[in-house]
């Protein structure tokens, strides 16, 4: 009880004396509050555990300059990197996997080029106009909650002192096999890693899959809002960030992301970000074995710059020419996925000649829009688990052209 009174007095002190305190003292108090909020069990009468900013920002980003409280550098630019698995290559690792030595090499490149890896909390503070970040900053994100982010990527990132963000979808957590556990996520949290939300089931949010008796709306709210609450409750944190499964969204998804209270939501569209990037469409560069040039562009910091308030076309969020759906090498849980690609790089196609084939299935009727060069198709029947190759062929200037990408379908495992 005594302890609790002291706590209350201190909190009151913080509240009333806030403006007079030096930033250093303030930082200490905030850090202390952080620890308090996380320490279970909290005294019952305390104000609701203010989900504290993770220790990430204050402690980890040594390279971040001290904020000049009045002028925040809004000319800085950020690239966001997206990884999935970090495993030695075997025949079961797909194109989204990066072997540890290569991952380490990329981390070294960041260092060699003088780019500053910043924490998610610093990024968000910069977005709010509260803190400057170095002119060329990098955010590192690892998606899906593979255990390799914990046992392989983590030690490498630690070695470099890089803060990072782990985006997890709740259904996969603690499933055994390659999945991360809640305990491991708790450890990441304690080490200052930002934990972000990547939905419940990792299904494309543009294509709701309600359970029997559930509306699409309820399903969507679960995937976007409930998932956040699950993470917050299980880990005792504030979950401020969302990553769209497969990088996909539509206007309603954006509304729900806003309603959920996320401070930033991430796509899979690589670009250099400016201060004015819309909070709900923060583009990321994906590591993909078959498109190493994307990551190379990110690390060279010379890719296209995000267009500020100009909103990308909602009907094709991942409008990057390189981006396919599902992503190359991606493992999906949706048994009737929409197959999509931008064929602009194939040349000026004869629309009547465009066809799409899926291995094991055959030809699938497709739509091709010559204006956007987007081809879209969906299998007529549910896929069986396994690996698939999509082949798109067409004629350009009388010549046969073809492109291929691969993905894997693996139904979501049932909770044990
Ligand atoms: Zn994912």
Q: How many CA atoms lie within 13 A of 161 on its CB side?
A: 9
How many DSSP H helices and E strands does the chain contain? Answer: 12, 17
User: Separation of 144 CA from ligand 1 center, angstroms?
Assistant: 5
User: Separation of 66 CA from ligand 1 center, angstroms?
Assistant: 34
User: Separation of 151 CA from ligand 1 center, angstroms?
Assistant: 18
User: Separation of 245 CA from ligand 1 center, angstroms?
Assistant: 5
User: Separation of 165 CA from ligand 1 center, angstroms?
Assistant: 13
User: Separation of 123 CA from ligand 1 center, angstroms?
Assistant: 21
CA distance 172 to 98: 20
pLDDT of residue 66: 53
User: Separation of 53 CA from ligand 1 center, angstroms?
Assistant: 24
Residues of the chain with pLDDT under 50: 10-62, 67-68, 309-322
CA distance 154 to 104: 11
Span 359-401, pLDDT tens digits: 888 999 999 988 777 899 999 999 999 999 898 888 887 777 7
User: Separation of 26 CA from ligand 1 center, angstroms?
Assistant: 37
pLDDT of residue 311: 38
User: Separation of 27 CA from ligand 1 center, angstroms?
Assistant: 34
User: Separation of 202 CA from ligand 1 center, angstroms?
Assistant: 6
User: Separation of 360 CA from ligand 1 center, angstroms?
Assistant: 25
User: Separation of 347 CA from ligand 1 center, angstroms?
Assistant: 30
Q: What is the DSSP string of 386-406?
A: EEEEEEEEEEETTEEEEEEEE
Q: What domains are there in the chain, each with its CATH number?
A: 2-52 (no CATH), 58-300 (3.20.20.370), 324-409 (2.60.40.1220)
User: Separation of 45 CA from ligand 1 center, angstroms?
Assistant: 39
Distance of CA 266 to the CA centre of its chain: 5
Are the CB atoms for 138 and 115 separated by under 8 Å?
Answer: yes
User: Separation of 103 CA from ligand 1 center, angstroms?
Assistant: 18
User: Separation of 65 CA from ligand 1 center, angstroms?
Assistant: 32
pLDDT of residue 370: 83
Q: How many CA atoms lie within 13 A of 125 on its CB side?
A: 24
Q: What is the DSSP string of 116-128?
A: EE--HHHHHHHHT
- According to DSSP, residue 37 is labeled H
pLDDT of residue 252: 96
Distance of CA 134 to the CA centre of its chain: 22
User: Separation of 195 CA from ligand 1 center, angstroms?
Assistant: 14
- According to DSSP, residue 239 is labeled -
User: Separation of 199 CA from ligand 1 center, angstroms?
Assistant: 9
Q: Which residues sit with Cβ closer than 5 angstroms to ligand 1, an ion? A: 143-144
User: Separation of 171 CA from ligand 1 center, angstroms?
Assistant: 12
User: Separation of 409 CA from ligand 1 center, angstroms?
Assistant: 13
User: Separation of 3 CA from ligand 1 center, angstroms?
Assistant: 44
Mean pLDDT of the chain: 82
Strand partners, 272: 305
User: Separation of 224 CA from ligand 1 center, angstroms?
Assistant: 14
User: Separation of 96 CA from ligand 1 center, angstroms?
Assistant: 10
CA distance 401 to 395: 6
pTM to 2 decimal places: 0.62
User: Separation of 246 CA from ligand 1 center, angstroms?
Assistant: 6
User: Separation of 177 CA from ligand 1 center, angstroms?
Assistant: 17
List helix spans (H) across 248-385: 251-260, 292-300
User: Separation of 217 CA from ligand 1 center, angstroms?
Assistant: 21
CA distance 219 to 199: 11
Span 268-320, pLDDT tens digits: 988 999 999 999 999 999 999 888 999 999 999 998 888 654 434 333 333 33
- According to DSSP, residue 63 is labeled T
User: Separation of 201 CA from ligand 1 center, angstroms?
Assistant: 10
User: Separation of 203 CA from ligand 1 center, angstroms?
Assistant: 9
User: Separation of 284 CA from ligand 1 center, angstroms?
Assistant: 12
Break the chain down into helix, strand, coil percent, rounded to 5: 30, 20, 45
User: Separation of 140 CA from ligand 1 center, angstroms?
Assistant: 14
């Amino acid at each position: 009880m005594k302890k609790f009174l002291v706590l209350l007095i201190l909190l009151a002190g913080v509240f009333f004396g806030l403006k007079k305190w030096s930033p250093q003292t303030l930082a200490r108090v905030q850090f202390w509050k952080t620890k308090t909020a996380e320490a279970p069990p909290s005294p019952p009468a305390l104000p609701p555990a203010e989900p504290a900013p993770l220790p990430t920002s204050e402690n980890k980003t040594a390279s971040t300059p001290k904020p000049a409280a009045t002028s925040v550098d809004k000319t800085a630019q950020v690239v966001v990197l997206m990884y999935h698995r970090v495993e030695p290559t075997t025949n079961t690792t797909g194109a989204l996997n990066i072997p540890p030595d290569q991952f380490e090499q990329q981390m070294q490149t960041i260092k060699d080029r003088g780019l500053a890896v910043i924490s998610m909390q610093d990024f968000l503070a910069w977005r709010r106009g509260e803190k400057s970040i170095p002119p060329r900053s990098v955010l590192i994100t690892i998606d899906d909650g593979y255990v390799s982010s914990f046992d392989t990527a983590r030690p490498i990132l630690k070695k470099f002192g890089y803060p990072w963000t782990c985006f997890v979808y709740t259904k996969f957590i603690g499933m055994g096999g390659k999945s991360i556990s809640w305990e491991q996520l708790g450890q990441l949290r304690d080490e200052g890693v930002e934990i972000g939300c990547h939905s419940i089931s990792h299904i494309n949010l543009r294509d709701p899959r309600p359970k029997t008796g559930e509306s699409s709306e309820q399903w969507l709210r679960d995937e976007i809002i409930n998932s956040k609450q699950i993470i917050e409750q299980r880990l005792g944190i504030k979950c401020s960030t969302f990553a769209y499964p497969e990088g996909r969204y539509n206007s309603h998804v954006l509304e729900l992301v806003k309603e959920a209270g996320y401070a930033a939501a991430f796509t899979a569209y690589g670009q250099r970000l400016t201060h004015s990037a819309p909070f709900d469409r923060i583009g990321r560069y994906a590591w993909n074995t078959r498109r190493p040039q994307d990551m190379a562009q990110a690390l060279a910091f010379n890719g296209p710059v995000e267009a500020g308030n100009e909103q990308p076309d909602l009907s094709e969020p991942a409008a990057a020419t390189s981006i396919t759906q599902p992503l190359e090498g991606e493992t999906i849980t949706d048994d009737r996925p929409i197959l999509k690609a931008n064929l602009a790089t194939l040349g000026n196609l004869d629309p009547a000649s465009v066809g799409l084939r899926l291995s094991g299935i055959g030809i699938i009727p497709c739509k091709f829009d010559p204006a956007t060069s987007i081809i879209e198709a969906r299998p007529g029947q549910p896929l069986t688990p396994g690996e698939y190759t999509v082949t798109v062929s067409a004629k350009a200037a009388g010549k046969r052209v073809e492109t291929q990408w691969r993905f894997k379908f693996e139904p979501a495992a049932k909770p044990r």
